[in-house]
Amino acid sequence: MLMNANSVMAPLSGEFVLSPAEARTLQMHPYCEWFPPLDLSVYEDLEDNIQSQGLLEPIVLFKGQVFDGRHRLKACLEREVAPRFQNLEELVPQCDPIDWILAKNQYRRHLNPTQMFAIVTLANAERLRVEAELRKQAGQQKGGRPKKNLNPKSGSSISRDVSEMHANSTAGKLALAAGCSRYQAEQILNILKHDPVLLKEIATGQKSLREARKEIRARRPPPDPVERFESCCKYLTRAMKAVALEHRNVFRKRLLIWLTKGD
């Protein structure tokens, strides 16, 4: 039996127990995999604690998948301690699962600022996807195209308290939510745009932001010489117009000298 005489705790209201076979078939919810796995030493301490004290905090399921407590579940199965479960739908009725999992995990783990920011970005992208899907479903039910929500305080994808100066900036909202710079926010959003898998690797600590940016740059095709030349011409035209008339001849001479040195 999957029991430890010193570890068995009677299920509380709303809690339930699954057999070992049933517990092993549970799938991980994609949201819980935004967060990196525990370090080996921390996980071993968790195993020892569960074996000696029992499972103090039940594992949370959402839509039949493990939502919070994947390490606790693994430790229970490995140390033969009966795992107890709760459904998020019953634990916190009508809660936002994204807000809940961020509040539950974001600040209790040893995450560096880049990882935390990557997690917030993944959560924001998922929230936007869910909101878009709900609008689509609402439009299909009404038989028309749903109207856009023009209220910036309604259905916010990051926070209801974002300052006005960042109200129209996704990067600004993310920077405020994660406590990072706006420059980092723009870099993370660029990685999300090119390769969401890379962003998950940053969140879980498999790659640094620098390594991900380097990988993205390495994938880019070499620039077209003609396009670069035309871009330079446009830039020089704007620069020439910005120079006062009496200084344009000097500007041209210095530009020619610079171009000659380039040879």
User: pTM of the full predicted structure?
Assistant: 0.64
Tens of pLDDT, residues 69-89? 999 999 999 998 889 999 999
Per-residue confidence of the chain (263 residues) as pLDDT tens digits? Answer: 344 434 445 555 678 998 888 999 999 999 988 998 888 999 999 999 999 988 989 999 999 999 999 999 999 999 988 899 999 999 888 889 999 998 888 766 677 878 888 888 888 889 888 888 888 888 777 665 555 444 444 444 444 443 444 435 777 777 776 666 777 778 888 888 888 888 888 888 888 888 988 988 888 887 788 888 888 888 888 888 888 888 888 888 888 888 787 55
Which token pair is 166?
């960042």
**pLDDT for res 171:** 73
Tens of pLDDT, residues 113-153? 788 888 888 888 898 888 888 888 887 776 655 554 444 44
Decide if 191 contacts 198 (C-beta within 8 A).
Answer: yes
Give 127-165 as a DSSP string.
HHHHHHHHHHHHHHHHTSPPPP---TTSS-SS-TT--GG
Q: Where are the domains of the chain?
A: 15-96, 113-219, 225-262
CA distances from 4 to 10, 74, 86, 155 (A): 13, 15, 20, 47
